[in-house]
Amino acid sequence: MTSIINRARLGLIEQAGIAVATLTEGLAQEELLRSRLTRAEVLRQLKILADSAGQLQPAARAAMPELDWSGWDALRQRFSGPPGVSLDEALWFACEALVPATLLWLRVYQQSQPELFRMAPSLFQKQ
């Protein structure tokens, strides 16, 4: 049961990361920070991603050491803080650096360790 929950969380991490990448594609920092609607949705997606990363079991995190889990933990705290420069910096850093790196490493691990991501065994798979 626990591994299914971890797989679901990894799916949420990937979906939220893709949403952030899509929403911020081509935006400069100032454009993102000025856009009330886009900024709010990006922050919502980043919170989903960071919360899901924070809820992964240590064994799941250990299986993917190149992902910056401690970075997501630190940003999770900043995302729940008050509006201001600190939140703006965390938001932009996540969009520019952490999300792209996370998506890249998730793709690598989906290829090298597909069992971490597979929700259910195939009906045709021998047991």
What six digits make up the tokens of 64? 């993917």
Flag whether pLDDT at 6 surpasses 60: yes
Instruction: Quote the strand ranges of the chain, DSSP E.
Output: none
Q: Where are the domains of the chain?
A: 2-113
Give CA separation, 103 vs 36, 60, 99, in Å.
25, 16, 6
**What confidence score (pLDDT) does residue 118 get?**
75
Tell me the CA distances in angstroms from 83 to 47, 86, 91, one per residue in order.
Answer: 14, 8, 11
Contact criterion met (CB below 8 Å) for 2 and 91: no
Where does the pLDDT of residue 122 fall: very low under 50, low under 70, confident under 90, or very high at 90 and above? very low
Interior angle at CA 16, CA 51 and CA 74, nearest 5: 35
pLDDT at 108 over 90: yes
